[in-house]
Amino acid sequence: MSSEPLPRLSVIVPVGPGDPSWHALVPALAPLADCAEVILVVARAGDAAELHDAHPGAHRIVAPEGRAHQQNAGALSARGEWLWFLHADSTPGPGTVPALRRTLARHEQEDCPDALYYFELRFLPDGPRLTVLNEIGAWLRCRLFRMPFGDQGLMLRATTFARLGGFDESLVLGEDLALVLAAQQADIAIRPIGAALRTSARRYRERGWARNTWRNLRLTWQLSRAWFRRGRSASA
């Protein structure tokens, strides 16, 4: 049996087929080396070999393709008390890791209620300038409706994630919002960590700002309405 101490935090990164964006992410997580493990979840065995060559210190597992499948597989293999789901095209900013450490320390020092944490959304300068409006929209969405998205780095205890049933693998898109809505329904607090996480805006550049923004708005409305109806049916 290994005597290696268990990590406090498991950072779970789903990597899409042929997606190179994780190359910049993994080195940025080095300040967490003393308390965290990094789990890269790929959908192709060939990608796992590439990940090993580039970053032998990170754990690599193979799972069925799809962000919900890959993140659930990462959670199953995680050893940490906390799970931090991080998109491969996200990059911690200067205040990201210190704020995360403060959040974990606060839970250790205080009797804090169960919570799902998220970072403020900031976009990298690789997309349209109009994405600043999406940053403002994300801030309002989180404050008014408690609805952070996956590109805001959702973090929660492993026991809480298991209680919520993990990510809904029937969803091709919106699995992150479905988890947040499940947390709301379970009366779990949705809280900002108090720092920003930078995410690539390339999809807004590739698909068009208006088209991608409209798609996100429509998906949010559809999932929220479905969860509201489900909650009303359960209470009837």
- Residues contacting residue 77 through CB under 8 Å, at least 6 positions apart: 39, 59, 61
Domains of the chain, residue spans: 9-235
CA dist., res. 202 & res. 123, Å (int) = 9
Report the predicted TM-score, pTM, of the whole model to 2 decimal places: 0.91
CA dist., res. 205 & res. 231, Å (int) = 37
In tens, the pLDDT along 194-236 reads 999 999 999 999 999 999 999 999 989 988 888 767 765 555 4
* CATH architecture under which domain 9-235 falls: Alpha-Beta Complex (3.90)
In tens, the pLDDT along 17-51 reads 877 777 888 888 888 888 899 999 988 665 555 65
167 near 71, Cβ under 8 Å? Answer: yes
